[in-house]
Amino acid sequence: SLVPPAVTLNAPADGLITSNKNITFNCSATDNLGLQNMTLYFNSSGSWAGNETQNLSGTSNSSNFTKILNDGFYRWNCLAYDTSNNIDWGNSNRTFTIDTTKPFVNLSQPVDNANFTIGNIPFNFTVIDLLDPVLTCNLTIDSTVQEANFDVNNDTLHTRNVTGLAQGFHLWNVTCVDTPGNFNTSATRGFNITDLAPNVTLLTANELNQSSRTINLQYNATDNNNVTSARLILDGAVNQ
């Protein structure tokens, strides 16, 4: 018979990204007369080569090849022979990636034990991963996630701005996860907000029109400590 067998690649799925080093390849084949064997090909040693051959029988059968592999990018296929020595490959090569390495998270700012007099603070850091171009991260302050599940480009300085932080000492860190699920948390740093600026609310109506040359301008000022003085600014200049 000149009719070749028909090979189907079943597993792993094409484009798989996994942190599992144990990979089971499954290939099936059919033939009009009879199957002889199936060979797994992939670039396990850096070059394309046959890795294992299993004998087959019947007109429809499959082979499982279980391998323990290192981190890396792999391309694979299966080659079947029938009893007439006709051959067939899977329709196209498949690929998968093994990544078991945790990303590394490096904090930049604020430096450890930094002091601030404002409650709005930028936090910046860099996450480095062997394979992923984009990772998912959380920013945690005082054991509470303040910014959750945001995307960060690999090996690129990233900044998150947090507002409304209270006076006092705070702890922060960043946790990032890659596509296969490897995650890592940075070192924990501290910072101190020693004081906060007062908050001023203008009470007099905006765009007020009146006939009197005397105007009563009212405001309310609050502060985490005491408000000791205030200045009135008119047309960009200090009036009182």
pTM listed for this prediction: 0.70
Question: What secondary structure does DSSP assign to 33-78, as a single string?
Answer: S-EEEEEEEE-TTSS-EEEEEEE--SSEEEEEEEEE--SEEEEEEE
The per-residue pLDDT of the chain, averaged, comes to 91
For residue 111, what are its two tokens?
């430096």
Helix segments in 85-165, DSSP class H: none
What distance in Å separates the CA atoms of residue 32 and residue 55, rounded to the nearest whole number? 17
Residue-wise pLDDT for 117-176, tens only, equals: 888 999 999 999 988 999 999 999 999 999 999 999 999 999 999 999 999 999 999 999
Q: What is the pLDDT of residues 28-46, one digit of tens each?
A: 999 999 999 999 999 987 7
